[in-house]
Structure 1
Amino acid sequence: MAVRLGALVAAPLLLALTVGWLLRPEAHLTVSNSRTGEIYHRVEVREGSTVRLSWTHSIEKTPWVEVYEVSGGRFLLREARVKSFGAGVDQIAPEVRNADGWVILSGTGRSFPELRFFHSRGVDRELALDGRVLDLGEVPQYAPVSVEIRSGSWIVSLPDGLMGGE
């Protein structure tokens, strides 16, 4: 009788713990088409993760690297690295230094709810999360891309096919 009563108490408790685990909120770095909503990447992200966005400047033809820290569901700009000053370079930064041929701008304290760009294969664009490069090969040429932090449960982040989607 005591064993049966223990099982009756343990089963609902185990079920509640499992459901709670499946529905716990998680943050994901989501790379999507800002016009159509098509998702190219959805990767778990943690507070303090590093996001690096780099490309070749279309006019100057020099590399540009921006490094962000995930903070409170936003992208906090830690530094921007450029090889030369030209069109589009924010020349006002509290900290500016030179290192290994780079001009490094930091200390702006600027944060963004999302990062946006038009994808072009001609500018060697690269997006990395904690050093892991995310393949942008399936992003159509000139597509408007949005990179943002979205929160949701583990079950929501399952691929659409597993949840009965198309």
Structure 2
Amino acid sequence: MKAVTRTPTTRSSLTRSGLLCSASLRRRQLLQAAAAASALALASSCAGSQSHRLICQHQRTGEVYAELNIDLGAIITHSWLHSIELSRWTDIYRFEAEQLMLISTEFEEYGAGMPLDEGDLTYRDGKIVIENIDRPFEAIGWIHSHRVDYRIGIDGDTGLIDTDQLPDREPIELRPR
């Protein structure tokens, strides 16, 4: 059996052969191209993006009670205890730039005044769920009452607006800007 002798590879021998230089050059070019692409993507997203806000305000006076940053596609829930059924009703909206799109609603009892002819109705976890409603709203408006335990959520967080601090028996709205 013949012994193979290997010459140790050193940085200087790779540099002399041009292998390290071309590999380093390629790596540097790739890093520069990636940095340029990242900078371009960041600049275009900043230039094209807008700051979106959800305003909780009085419908008549315009007094602002809360103003929150929201992202496109944010899910907004508006729920309360139904005054007759005494069970929670929840409307679910998706924020789409200038409007709120009602995408679904959930409640426990079906009765007078309930939606009949829109979306897909299912029964899930003890609730009637109507999905795929896709009805646009410029704002969500209601007469606020401290007796019905209103809750407003944004992407699952119901602590962003303290509904106990909203004025009782006054017209309130949530409006995107």
Which category describes the TM-score, using the shorter chain as reference length? 0.7 to 0.9
The alignment's TM-score, normalised by the length of structure 2, stands at 0.68
69, 74, 77: which is aligned to 1:44?
Answer: 69
User: Which residue of the partner structure matches residue 54 of structure 1?
Assistant: 79
User: Which residue of the partner structure matches residue 143 of structure 1?
Assistant: 170
The structure that is helix-richer by fraction is 2
Give the counterpart letter for 1:63 in structure 2.
R
Query: 1:54-97: CA deviations, max 9, x gaps?
Result: 10111221210111100132111111001011233112223111
Counterpart CA distance in 2 for 1:69 and 1:78 is: 7
Give the counterpart letter for 1:147 in structure 2.
L
- Computing the radius of gyration from Cα coordinates, the structure with the larger value is 2
User: Which residue of the partner structure matches residue 34 of structure 2?
Assistant: none
105, 109, 119: which is aligned to 1:80?
Answer: 105
Counterpart CA distance in 1 for 2:90 and 2:163 is: 16
Give the counterpart letter for 2:155 in structure 1.
D
In angstroms, what is the RMSD of aligned CA positions?
1.5
Q: Give aligned pairs, total.
A: 128
Hey, which bits of structure 1, 4+ residues long, moved more than 2 A? none
Unaligned runs of 5+ in 1: 1-20, 151-166
Counterpart CA distance in 1 for 2:61 and 2:71 is: 26
Counterpart CA distance in 2 for 1:84 and 1:34 is: 29
Query: 1:28-48: CA deviations, max 9, x gaps?
Result: 000001121111110001100
Q: Secondary structure at the match of 2:114?
A: coil
User: Which residue of the partner structure matches residue 91 of structure 1?
Assistant: 116
Query: 1:92-140: CA deviations, max 9, x gaps?
Result: 2231111110000011221101000011011111011111222112211
Counterpart CA distance in 2 for 1:63 and 1:85 is: 12
Q: Secondary structure at the match of 2:147?
A: helix
Unaligned runs of 5+ in 2: 1-45
User: Which residue of the partner structure matches residue 13 of structure 2?
Assistant: none
The alignment's TM-score, normalised by the length of structure 1, stands at 0.73
User: In 1, are the aligned partners of 2:52 and 2:97 still within 8 Å (CA)?
Assistant: no
112, 115, 119: which is aligned to 2:144?
Answer: 119
128, 137, 142: which is aligned to 1:103?
Answer: 128
User: In 2, are the aligned partners of 1:60 and 1:86 still within 8 Å (CA)?
Assistant: no
Of structures 1 and 2, the one scoring higher in RCO (CA 8 A, sep 6+) is 1
